[in-house]
Amino acid sequence: MANDKRVKQSGMNSISFAGNITLNITFSIYAIVCIFPLLLVLAVSLSDEADIVDYGYRIIPKSISLISYQFILSSGDKILSAYGYTIVSTIAGTILALLITSSLAYPLSRKSFKYRNKFAFYVYFTMLFNGGMVPLYIVYTQIIPLKNSIYALIIPNLVSGFYVLLMRTYFSQNISDSIVESAEIDGASTFRIFFTMVLPLAKPVLATVGLFTAMGYWNNYFRNLLFVYDDRVMNLQYLLFRMQSEIEVMNTDPQLIVELGKYIPQETSRMAMVILTIGPIIFLYPFLQRYFIKGLTIGSVKG
Amino acid sequence: MRQRNGFAHELNKNKGNFLLMLPGVLYLFVNNYVPMFGMSIAFKKITYGNSFVETYIKSPWVGLKNFEFFLSTRDAFLITRNTVLYNIAFIAIGLVLSVACAVAINEITNKRMAKFYQAAMILPNFLSWIVISGIAYAFLNARGFINSSIVGLFDMEAVSFYSEPFWWPYILIFIQVWYNLGVNTVIYLASITGISGEYYESAVIDGAGKWQQITKITLPLLKPTIITLTIISLGGIFHANFGLFFNVPRESGVLFGVTNVIDTFVFRALRTGGRTEMAAAAGFYQSIVGFCIVVLANSIVKKISRENSLF
């Protein structure tokens, strides 16, 4: 394999110099298409509202102002509680999902387990057929009353059949039956084997599924939108969603409103809130993207 | 009788395994299987009682009435058309572009730049649809970037995007492709780098140029990945990306003709309209047709090449 690479890079089979330049220019432009929108949002969030009213959204602000961030942060509890809901649901959701997913996937990967294929189909069928939004809504509001609680932000769609089958494939390829059997002969219980032997060996797949799940929770607003009617329970994304249409959700401090006069920083605050919502992700991006790319290539194994 | 003994025996032998699976099996039962039975409310007229069971029992069966009502609305055709056509556009354009990008990135000689391009391309996938809707707003609103900085350059008039349906098919297709292009490129790139270098070496010896190598080696060897990923996407052709269609157009009613899809229709009927029965009927229709499409798509693949089918 290393040899193959050298041959490829040695130049005898490379594209022409001009071709290489063309490709680099094309992808550089597309990279800008991906990054520029965030820079625009950042620029507007740092602009003065009056400039936005006069000149519109600019990539380079006419003058720098932090008023939008002040406006959002002076509402203290709103943004803090939103961060709280997002962080708690992300951590709790990810840990729970990893536990349930891996413990369901492991038995399905053991050849000695006679019913593994029946249960694998039970999991697989949830990927083929989906009852849809209305029955799910009924389940979590009428049968299991999660409505308006933080549990509504965690429990629905916690386990994905796809990740169960992904982990099963990983377990069956990486944890040999002979290791498990010898541990069994030494008298270890299935639980002990699973928690002390299997999970430590499964770190790569746990990291992958954990990352995807955590990102799903961080970016989720749908649970909030569907199951929560109470304005005290709002995660970051949902708060951003609400303030897109009603800036009043953000700050109701009458004194501040009077102070700001006609320049309540509507537009700039919207953009500042976008920045505050993605802030931690961008901060971790160099680290996250590496694992994300690795995870995608693990994830592309056949279900 | 032997069967039962067999199961009891297994249960005893694999107590640990069954116990480990229990939370997951129960969870999927509640979260996925109960809703499947719950779909039967599409055939009922809901009459509320004090508990769910009471409501369910009290609600009379009305046969296909809810479906008749749903199908008699102008929306039924519209949302089906929008869902399917948008998905076809997403799949076709996304496929061509991501395979092209993967092949091209693979040829870039500076591997560090190639890594950087991938990192930039997957950035949109890290953003929530609310954030993307905020970004789209930054470009599209009356004072947005397009109207304040671009339109002037070309001497055009300002466009009020949120009340002008004409642009939306392009906007939605652009955003969806932009969102997913990086991820699909990375997946295709992974299978390209998995192709043994020996194929290319002998092709070079035989005098094959780059283009021939791509069309005769890379693309044919990518076929299994392409088929598998396309079938998975085709299976979802009846399910729209709720975030894209609900958030990005900012619920502008003028745009519903080109932005309303099955998922947004069901959500609006359920959450804002309180028309639960019709929402249930539309959802039932989506689930059943969607399921048939997955099975159909897979049986087609099975005919073409058995090893690429999903089940």
Yes or no, beta carbons of B24 and A159 under 8 Å apart = yes
> Among A249-263, B65-79, B166-180, B285-299, which is the least confidently predicted range?
A249-263
Average pLDDT over residues A140-164: 91
pLDDT by residue (tens digit) across B106-165? 989 888 999 999 999 999 999 999 999 999 999 998 888 998 888 878 878 888 999 999
Cβ of A29 under 8 Å from any chain B Cβ?
no
Residue A11 pLDDT: 52
Confidence of residue A8 (pLDDT cuts 50, 70, 90): very low
Annotate chain A with DSSP letters as a single string. -HHHHHHHHTSTTSPPHHHHHHHHHHHHHHHHHHHHHHHHHHHHHTB-HHHHHHH---SS-SSB--HHHHHHHTTTHHHHHHHHHHHHHHHHHHHHHHHHHHHHHHHHH-TT-TTHHHHHHHHHHHHH----HHHHHHIIIIIS--TTSGGGGTSTT-S-HHHHHHHHHHHHHHS-HHHHHHHHHTT--HHHIIIIIIHHHTHHHHHHHHHHHHHHHHT--HHHHHH---TT---HHHHHHHHHH-GGGT---HHHHHHHTT---HHHHHHHHHHHHHHHHHHHHHHHHHHHHHHHHHHTS--
Instruction: Please give, rounded to a whole number of angstroms, the shortest distance from the CA of B190 to a CA of chain A.
Output: 6
Yes or no, beta carbons of A134 and B279 under 8 Å apart = yes
Residue A254 pLDDT: 64
Yes or no, beta carbons of A23 and B24 under 8 Å apart = no
Confidence of residue A303 (pLDDT cuts 50, 70, 90): very low
Smallest Cβ distance to B148: which of A55, A132, A286? A55
Average pLDDT over residues B272-280: 82
Confidence of residue A12 (pLDDT cuts 50, 70, 90): low
Confidence of residue A7 (pLDDT cuts 50, 70, 90): very low
> What is the rounded average pLDDT for all residues in chain B?
88
Residue A4 pLDDT: 46
pLDDT by residue (tens digit) across A267-298? 888 899 999 999 888 889 988 888 888 888 77
Distance of CA B204 to the CA centre of its chain: 40
Residue A251 pLDDT: 58
Q: Which of B49, B291, B283 is nearest to A137 (CA)?
A: B283
Residue B3 pLDDT: 52
Across chain A, which distance is largest between two alpha carbons, in Å? 78
Cβ of B241 under 8 Å from any chain A Cβ?
no
Average pLDDT over residues B57-61: 86
Smallest Cβ distance to A30: which of B15, B113, B121? B121
Q: Could you tell me the domains of chain A?
A: 16-75+250-299 (no CATH), 77-227 (1.10.3720.10)
The identity of residue B142, as a single letter, is A
Rounded to an integer, what distance in angstroms lies between the CA atom of residue A179 and that of residue B8?
A: 26
Beta strands in B119-276 (DSSP E): none
Residue B310 pLDDT: 59
Say if residue B41's pLDDT is above 70.
Answer: yes
pLDDT by residue (tens digit) across A191-200? 999 999 999 9
CATH superfamily, domain B72-308, is MetI-like (1.10.3720.10)
Yes or no, beta carbons of B135 and A41 under 8 Å apart = yes
Residues of B in contact with A245 (CB under 8 A): 250-251
Confidence of residue A2 (pLDDT cuts 50, 70, 90): very low
Residues of B in contact with A219 (CB under 8 A): 126-129, 131
User: CB–CB of A67/A259 below 8 Å?
Assistant: no
User: CB–CB of A243/A273 below 8 Å?
Assistant: yes
Which runs of consecutive H residues, i.e. helices, occur in B73-128? 75-107, 111-121
pLDDT by residue (tens digit) across B235-261? 889 999 999 999 999 988 899 999 999
Percent of chain A whose pLDDT exceeds 70: 88
Break chain B into its structural domains and give their ranges: 2-58, 72-308
Instruction: Please give, rounded to a whole number of angstroms, the shortest distance from the CA of B297 to a CA of chain A.
Output: 12
Smallest Cβ distance to A133: which of B201, B250, B267? B267
Rounded to an integer, what distance in angstroms lies between the CA atom of residue B177 and that of residue A92?
A: 32
Nearest chain A Cα to B22, which residue?
Answer: A104
Average pLDDT over residues A52-75: 86
Percent of chain B whose pLDDT exceeds 90: 49
Rounded to an integer, what distance in angstroms lies between the CA atom of residue A106 and that of residue A198?
A: 8
pTM: 0.90
Residue B295 pLDDT: 85
Cβ of A20 under 8 Å from any chain B Cβ?
yes
Q: Return the higher-pLDDT residue of A19 and A26.
A: A26
Average pLDDT over residues B212-233: 86
Pick among A3, A134, A237 to test the B interface (most B CBs inside 10 A): A134
pLDDT by residue (tens digit) across B181-212? 999 999 999 889 888 888 888 888 888 888 88
